[in-house]
Amino acid sequence: LVFRLRDSGRPLLVVTSGANRVDEVKVGALLGERLERADAEFVRTETGFAIGGVAPIGHARPLLTLIDEHLLRFEDIWAAAGHPNTVFRLTPEDLVTMTQGRVVVVA
């Protein structure tokens, strides 16, 4: 999920399981800045991908990335691969390495 940080306007990518809901207040407090939902134009401009297909890597610009620690309990996970109808398999450890994301509780 891509959010917009309210004060700085920077994008934030939060990678979590589809079963979890991001606690926007908790994540905002963690970052010291409130979150706003990003519209389709913002997502495409900041990531290079359309909503529903935002991959965790290969963005148009560097992206602050948070990874839900809940994902670390899975052997394999599936992530969007740049299009709403494509995914790829990887391990949680690979996700952390490839994104240089910060592992936190987001739900």
The whole-model pTM stands at 0.94
In angstroms, rounded to a whole number, what is the distance separating the alpha carbons of residues 2 and 59?
A: 12
How do residues 30-46 score in pLDDT, each as one tens digit?
Answer: 999 999 999 999 999 99
Angstrom distance (rounded) from CA 13 to CA 56: 8
The predicted structure's pLDDT at residue 47? 96
Q: Taking Cα atoms as reference points, which of 26, 10, 34 lies closest to residue 68?
A: 26
Q: What was the pLDDT predicted at 60? A: 85
Mean pLDDT, residues 37-58: 95
pLDDT confidence of 18, banded at 50, 70, 90?
A: confident
